[in-house]
Structures are given as structure tokens and as C-alpha cells.
Amino acid sequence: MAVYKHSYSAYTGKVTPAWMRVFVLSRYAFDEAWSSKISIGLLVFCLLPCLTSIVVIYLANNPLAQALVGAKGNQILAIDAAFFLKTLEGQCWLALVLASWIAPRVITFDLADSALPILLSHPISRFGYLFGKFIALFVSLSIVTWIPCLLLFAYEGYSSPIPWVVANLHIAVGLLAGSIIWITLLAFIGLALSSWVKWRVVATGIIFAAVFIPAGVGGIVTAVLRTQWGFLLNLPFMISSLWQRLLGAPAPINPRWSLPTGAIVTMLILACIVCIGMLNKRIRAREVVRG
Amino acid sequence: MGIIDLDQLEVRLANRTVLNGLTGELRGNAIGLLGPNGAGKSTLINTLLGFHLPSNGTARVFGLDSHRDRGQIRGGIGYMPENDSFIGNMSGVRFVRYMAELAGLPPDVALERAHEALFYVGLGEVRYRKVNSYSLGMKQLIKLAQALAHGPKLLILDEPTNGLDPMARTRMIQLIKDIRKEGSIRLLISSHLLRDIDETCDEVLILKNGQIAALCNIEEERRSNRSFIELETVGATERFSVSIRGLGCECACYPGGRIKLILPDNIEARDLYVIASEQGVQIRRMNQRRDSLEDIFLRAMDNDMERMGNGRLQTQL
């Protein structure tokens, strides 16, 4: 086949290994996600709180600044698990905003014009297809969650005059684990809900709704029945509790309303299973005609 | 070994048997897949692509099991679906490159082949436009380009001329003929249009209600067919038909003196005039023609395989 000849010839060159095709999907999905200026704007917005955290860490480790704020200020400028919990919470909720925008971009273009029959007619499985999209979303959300959080942790370790890193290594582990749990869940929710909605804007709204409407219902259940189990529908509450335990930060809430870690993990796994079920139903090369 | 081997293939979808006991070996360079709506053409294609798991029997493509080895099969297949199937937000060249990379081409080669494939199908000038701005004909062509770009061994075209105007259809048919002529690609073409299959294929598989109604080599079938003759007569038609049966013709009589018959090789049309003259029958019109794909198709729709084996006009006789 040659452009100037306008004739066809077979391809006889080498082909890439089968496992590489997943990364082809990831690369194109990643490009699609970040091709929008709004995506870039949101990324910048999501990283702004990190700048504040950097300034706080700098001031906390600067003798002049410490002298200026005095003994009371030392409590404000304390860099501990609570500080990183606040940072993680901020970044992870901003990640929800980013996910609600880019998750639909990753998958709805394929579904809007029924590209799945063509995509899946290539040597790629449905699992491979979803895994490729998942990687794109996971990497995108990593940029605003665990990567900046761990960089802040490293900066604190570098800035601190005392050996700080080894003594607080559990915070880094908590930051990484908490972020990964959250962005995995967000990626599943984002992909599952986006696969069922053709319009991106609607998908964005539905992702927010999926997080906050059950939380509202859970709040009503908790208030009416006076039981903490209503919080099992409250994703923000559950994930905040989990982060606090992972980082070993003091509990900011009334212990009477706390949930067992096992129940939280079970609910998060259940949410992922529901999302996988939705994706399994939707991501098909052909719809089965009933009747 | 054929390109596609079917062995008692049965596919059930939603508790309904869509393909029922298909057995056959498809060997042609260009295989036509014909059948009315709901006959199971698309289901057969989807089964060959590994989208459906056979509930019984097997389907093999180039000797590979359609479900177990689907990854390997898909690597050697180019598929052009019937309906709209593309990523509208991408430019033409980016879309074709993406598909070529998914098929296993390295990125730089995929880009080169994408440009070439788009020029080959005639979309070279519009390759940087977004696919959703293309006309229906262009969308059909870009589906063909993505199916060709990675150099498949088997090209599956599901209704390739669907929705095309006459000029675009002619162009598509010519492309398919060129691809067939080039020789490195085998073709499986599903179509409702007998003319498309007639012009492009050398073997045809006709499906009806999920079963094989006919599987034949079009050229051989044409060669083996004797001449069809349609007569319009006035006079003692019944007696005339008995006489021509005596010559060894198969014939069927219809109201209004119409007779359809198949002439054996040793009998000529002139002999009919002689008999008609002897019996005082007037032959007002004589229409002689060879068997067309349409005849093969209609016969397959009317008769089952056994009847076909016994004789073409047996039901009418």
C-alpha cells in the first residue's frame, strides 16, 4: 500500500506483543482525557492546595517563622498525621471533581458512536479494554492524589531538622493506601456510570449524584433510626474514617457514630462489585436481542 | 482445510437458537453470506469473531477455534461492522491509526499504514477531519480503511454497501474487487443485495432460519446449470408439456399457457418449435436465460437442501 500508488499491499512487518495493546488503549484514553482545556484547568485547580501545604511545611521548618508565630503558632504549624489527613482529604475530594470530568471523556466517546464492535474485534478482550481505560483514569487521578501527597511527605522529611521520615513512615503508607483505595473506587464508579450514559455532562452530574445522594439517604436513615449503620450509605463519611485510621490521625468525629473498619471495607468492595457488574453488562461488542 | 470450517455449530442467545447445526467448509477467496433478516448472518460473523460462545459444535477460522483462539483469530481479521461504529471525536487518520495499533502495528508503522489505507479507500483528502463530520458513504469507507490498515488475512464486511448512493456503491464494489484481485486477503461479505454478492464473490453461503439453505460455488453452479426457458404458448399447452417432458425436459405449467422448463444439453430450442408445430401450439414468446444468483437464492429459500439435491423444479413439478 502506498499513498502515491493508491494500491493495497499486505503488512508483513513485526507486530507488538498482545499485552502491549492494553497500553495502546490507555494512551489514547489518556490523550482523550487531557485534550480538553477544562481538564488542564481542573488539574491546575486540584494542585493549588498543594502549594499552600508546601508553604505551611516551609514555615513549620523555618526557625524565623516559628519565632514569629510563637508557641501558639507551633500548634498551627504542626506537621503530623492530622496535617496530612487534611491534605489527603482535600486532594481526594478534588480528585472526585477531576474524575467526574475526565471519566466520561475516557469512555463515552467509544460508546456514543458504538465503537465497541470495532474495538473489540481487535485482539483485545473486554477485560483488557476496561483495564486500559482504568489505567488511564488511575494515572490521571494519581497526579492529584498520592503523588503530590508523597512529594509533600518527602519535602517535610527533607526540611525537618530532626529524623522525621522513619518515625512517620506509617503516614506515607497511609497516604499511598488511602489514595489508591479512593482513586480505584472513583475509577470504577466513573467508568461504570459513564458507560451507561451517552452524554458527558449528564455523566459528570451522575457521578457526583452517586456519591452524595446515597450519603443524604444514609444521613436520613441515621437521624430517623438513631443508628450509625446509615453511614454505610455515606461514602464521604466511610472513606474519611478509613483515611483517619490509615494515617493514625485522631478521630475528629463522635466515636458513637463510628463504623467498624470491616464494614467500611465490605461496603467499598460491594460498591466496586456493583460497578464491575454494570460494566460487564454494558461493555459488549453486541447487544443480545431478547425475545 | 477451508478458511472457515463449521461443524454442527449451534449458537443460542437469550434462550433462542439463532444458529442451528451449521456444518460446512468455506474455501472461496470471496465468500458471500446471504439470507433474509434474522437468518443469522450477523450472529455467524460475531461467532467467528469470538463474540458469541457456541452452545454446541465448533466454528474454526484458519483452523483456529473461534472462541478458544479468538485473540489469535482477531489479530488476522479486519472487521467492518454493518452499523455506525467509529469514534466520532477523532480525526480519520487518528482513528485508523488507533485501530491499527490495537491490531498490533507499532505506532510509527500504524500511522504510515493509516495514511495509506485512507488514500487507498479514497479518503485521503479528508483524513484530518473528525469522523463525525463525514457523510454516510465516508463513514462506510473509513470502516473499510480501519479494517484494511493492519493487513488482515480475512476481511469480514457486514453490509458494506449499506446506505450508499449508486456512485459510492460502485466505488465500494470496485474496492472489494481490487482487494480480492490483490489476492492476499480472503473476504467474507454479508449482504442483503444479491447483486453485490454476485459481483464480488465466488462462493456463497445462504442462511435461512439459522440453518444452511445453500452452500455453493457460484461459478461452478452457473456452469452446471442448464438453460432455463420460459415459454408463453397458446393452444394445447398440457399436451405440449407432456411431449417436451418426453424429450427429457423438466417443466412446470402455469395458468395462461406459461411454461417454465429446463433444457437438457442434447435438446435445442428448435426442437420445441418442431413439437409445437406438430401439435398446433403457438409459441408467442420464448425467454432463455442462465441461472442467476437470484435463482440460487430463491431456490434455497423455497427448498431445503435435500430437495435441492434432487432437482431444481421438483416442487413445481
Q: State pLDDT tens for residues A255-265.
A: 667 889 999 99
A3 to B99: CB separation less than 8 angstroms, yes or no: no
Nearest CA in chain B to A10: B151
Q: What is the pLDDT of residues B61-119, one digit of tens each?
A: 999 999 999 999 999 999 999 888 999 999 999 999 999 999 999 999 999 999 999 99
B81 to A28: CB separation less than 8 angstroms, yes or no: no
Nearest CA in chain A to B86: A115
Nearest CA in chain B to A116: B85
pLDDT of A289: 45
CA angle A147, A148, A151 (to 5 degrees): 90
- Quote the strand ranges of B166-281, DSSP E: 186-190, 203-208, 211-217, 227-234, 250-254, 258-263
Nearest CA in chain A to B12: A288
pLDDT at B4 > cutoff 90: yes
Q: What is the pLDDT of residues B256-274, one digit of tens each?
A: 888 888 877 778 888 889 9
Average pLDDT score over residue span B155-165: 90
Task: List chain A residues with CB under 8 Å of B61.
Answer: none
pLDDT at B35 > cutoff 50: yes
B103 to A123: CB separation less than 8 angstroms, yes or no: yes
pLDDT at B214 > cutoff 60: yes
Interface test with A, best of B83, B97, B102, B175 (most A CBs within 10 A): B102
pLDDT at B312 > cutoff 70: no
pLDDT of B37: 84
pLDDT at A182 > cutoff 80: yes
Domain ranges of chain B: 4-221, 226-289
Task: List chain A residues with CB under 8 Å of B109.
Answer: 11, 13
Task: List chain A residues with CB under 8 Å of B49.
Answer: 121, 285
Burial per residue of A3-32, b for 16 or more beta-carbon CB atoms within 10 angstroms, e otherwise: eeeeebeebeeebbeeeebbbbbbbbbbeb
pLDDT of B313: 35
Of A9-13, A27-31, A149-153, B131-135, the range with the lowest mean pLDDT is A9-13
| Closest residue to B85, CB basis, from A28, A118, A291 | A118
Task: List chain A residues with CB under 8 Å of B103.
Answer: 15, 122-123
Distances (CA, A) of A97 to A88, A122, B202, B266: 14, 33, 57, 84
The whole-angstrom distance between A288's CA and the closest CA on chain B is 7
| Closest residue to B102, CB basis, from A10, A124, A289 | A124
Could you give the CA distance from residue B213 to residue A148 in angstroms, rounded to a whole number?
Answer: 66
Q: Provide φ and ψ at A71, rounded to 5°.
A: -70, -35
Of A124-138, A187-201, B211-225, the range with the lowest mean pLDDT is B211-225
B104 to A124: CB separation less than 8 angstroms, yes or no: no
- Give me the total of CB pairs closer than 8 Å, taking one residue from chain A and one from chain B: 128
Q: Which of B147, B148, B143, B146 is nearest to B97 (CA)?
A: B146
State pTM to two decimals.
Answer: 0.83
Q: Which of B216, B156, B148 is nearest to B182 (CA)?
A: B148
A123 to B148: CB separation less than 8 angstroms, yes or no: no
Average pLDDT score over residue span A172-181: 96
Q: Provide φ and ψ at B32, rounded to 5°.
A: -95, 140
pLDDT of A164: 87
> B98 CB near a chain A CB, below 8 Å?
yes
- Cell 443485495: give the residue: B193
The whole-angstrom distance between B214's CA and the closest CA on chain A is 26
CB atoms within 10 A of CB B214: 21
pLDDT of B225: 59
pLDDT of B314: 36
C-alpha cell at B122: 479514497
B46 to A122: CB separation less than 8 angstroms, yes or no: no
How much of chain A exceeds pLDDT 70, in percent? 92
Of B26-40, B189-203, B262-276, the range with the lowest mean pLDDT is B262-276
Could you give the CA distance from residue A229 to residue B275 in angstroms, rounded to a whole number?
Answer: 99
pLDDT of A172: 95
More confident residue, B238 or B79: B79
β-pairing, B154-158 with B186-190?
parallel
Of A66-80, B116-130, B170-184, the range with the lowest mean pLDDT is A66-80
pLDDT of A72: 67
B104 to A21: CB separation less than 8 angstroms, yes or no: yes
Asked if the B4-221 domain carries CATH number 3.40.50.300, the reply is yes
Task: List chain B residues with CB under 8 Å of A25.
Answer: 102
Task: Report the number of secondary-structure helices (H) and strands (E) in chain B.
Answer: 12, 14
pLDDT of A41: 97
pLDDT at A143 > cutoff 90: yes
Interface test with B, best of A4, A11, A107, A281 (most B CBs within 10 A): A11
Q: B226-289: which CATH topology?
A: Alpha-Beta Plaits (3.30.70)
Task: List chain B residues with CB under 8 Å of A2.
Answer: 116
Could you give the CA distance from residue A90 to residue B255 in angstroms, rounded to a whole number?
Answer: 88
Residues 290-309 in B contacting A (C-alpha not used; CB under 8 Å): none
The whole-angstrom distance between A185's CA and the closest CA on chain B is 27
Q: ipTM more than 0.95?
A: no
pLDDT of B188: 96
Average pLDDT score over residue span B216-223: 75
